[in-house]
Amino acid sequence: MKPRIMTLGSHSALQILKGAKDENFETIVVVKKNYEITYRSFPVADEIIVIDEYPEFKQLESQLVDKQAILIPHGSLFAAISTQDLAHNKVMYFGEKEVLALEESRKRQRQWLLDAGLTMPRIYNSPEEIDGPAIVKFNGAGGGKGYFLAKNAEEFYDKIETRHPGSYMIQQYIIGNPIYVHYFYSPLTDELEIMSMDKRYETNVDSIGRISAKDQLDLDLQTSYNIMGNMPLVARESMLADMLRMGRSVVDESKKLTNRGMFGPFCLEMVITPDMKYYVFEISARIVAGSNPFVNGSPYSDLRYNVPMSTGRRIAREIKNALEQGRLDKVIT
Ligand code: ATP
């Protein structure tokens, strides 16, 4: 029996499943009740398994092992299964599980990126240290929900009162253009590709400009960064060299920190300033939802492939190549 491609019904599942079908895999989606309508509406899943609540996902383990399912992780998977539980789960997993712990710890992630030579925004260790624009980020917020800006300790304490409790990080706010670069690194060929790029569409920060500055002040508006969707982007061509170098050094550094290093899709989330400094504020070591506008490929993937190549399809292509070469162990944990 040939392995089947499986993912959780959310985030970038449509793209992943479509890409798998394009590479001639059978597909399975595991979806929470009330969301299956999406996966019935688009013909990309050969099998739809509906669960009542995400914790039930764990109970499917032996069924999925029997079906030779290969789990493709995305950002919503961690709502269904903790990284600790995933570590022991026997379902085939596309990617290096060891990288999850590296990414999950803010401290370790930061050290990884700094050791790779990237520039990052400053971290303020206490509100009293804030001496310029700062963005306050909550742990596990998911998609920038509740984040706010503060320019000094007083403003921080004013605003934190009305926000949700829990741990947070205070980061230097970089004024520039946020760009999310989607990469793919192949452990089979040691090639690094830029698949696509996006910018985000967030409420309310992306809609504040629709009302006049006077109204903004009168309404005492505060910005929030709750993600609604993603928009395609193509960068100035001269920036690609820097972006490729950054992606490569992050991959190289990950090989020093874990057994096999990071492979498959990943994303560097950065703000680029007018003096062309790239401030990377986060890495996602898997497919990001910003790749969803490119189900049919991107200008970058068009330069390399003669079929429409989404990141989802690129994952399936890597698994297919590994199977053909008898090297499946190179791409799964
Ligand atoms: P995800 O985990 O899905 O990437 P998130 O919850 O971590 O999302 P971020 O992407 O980190 O959210 O940030 C939300 C918003 O804040 C984005 O618009 C991003 O560009 C902006 N942002 C984050 N950090 C900074 C920074 N240091 N300077 C300027 N803008 C920032």
Over residues 280-331, the pLDDT tens digits come to 999 999 999 999 999 999 999 999 999 999 999 999 999 999 999 999 999 9
Which of 3.60.150.10, 1.10.760.10, 3.90.230.10, 3.40.50.20 would CATH assign to domain 4-93? 3.40.50.20
Q: For residue 144, what pLDDT is reported?
A: 72
Answer yes or no: is the C-beta of 171 below 6 A from any ligand 1 atom.
yes
Q: Are β-strands 47-51 and 148-150 bridged in parallel, bridged antiparallel, or unpaired?
A: unpaired
CA of 276 to the centre of ligand 1 (A): 19
Q: How far is the CA of 144 from the centre of ligand 1 (A)?
A: 6
Q: Which residues contact 27 (CB under 8 A, 6 or more apart)?
A: 4, 5, 6, 17, 20, 21, 44, 45, 46, 47
pLDDT in tens, 215-258: 999 998 888 888 999 999 999 999 999 999 999 999 999 999 99
Query: What's the confidence (pLDDT) of residue 284?
Result: 97
**CATH for the 103-120+176-199+232-324 domain, from 3.40.50.800, 3.90.870.30, 3.90.470.20, 3.30.470.20:** 3.30.470.20
58 CA → ligand 1 middle, Å: 30
Percent of the chain predicted with pLDDT > 90: 89
Between the CA of 299 and the centroid of ligand 1 the distance, in Å, is 25
The domain spans of the chain are: 4-93, 103-120+176-199+232-324, 123-172
Residues 280 and 273: their CA atoms lie apart, in Å, by 11
Q: Please, what is the average pLDDT of the chain?
A: 95
What is the 301 CA–ligand 1 centroid distance (Å)?
25
- Inform me whether the pLDDT recorded for 164 exceeds 70: no
Q: Which residue lies with its CA nearest to atom 27 of ligand 1?
A: 173
Place of tokens 């309508």: 37
Domain 4-93 identical in fold to domain 103-120+176-199+232-324: no
- pLDDT(138) > 90: no
- Best CATH choice for the domain 123-172 from the list 3.30.1490.20, 3.30.1330.10, 3.40.190.10, 3.30.300.30: 3.30.1490.20
Q: Ligand 1 in contact with 135 (CB < 6 A)?
A: yes
Among 20-24, 147-151, 162-166, whose mean pLDDT is lowest? Answer: 162-166
What are 194-227's pLDDT values in tens digits?
A: 999 999 999 999 999 999 999 999 998 888 888 9
Per-residue pLDDT at 163: 76
C-beta 332 within 6 A of ligand 1: no
What per-residue confidence (pLDDT) applies to 165?
A: 66
* Closest residue by Cα to residue 286 from 183, 139, 141: 183
> Residue 330 Cα, ligand 1 centroid: separation in angstroms?
32
Contact 117, 249 (CB under 8 A): yes
Q: Is the CB–ligand 1 distance for residue 271 below 6 Å?
A: yes
98-119 per-position pLDDT tens digit: 999 999 888 999 999 999 999 9
So what's the pLDDT on residue 146? 80
- Whether 104 lines ligand 1, by a CB cut-off of 6 Å, is no
What is the Cα–Cα distance from 180 to 283, expressed in whole angstroms?
10
- Stated pTM of the model: 0.95
Residue 48 CB–ligand 1 contact under 6 Å: no
Q: Which of 282, 287, 291 should be mutated for ligand 1, with most atoms under 8 A from CB?
A: 282
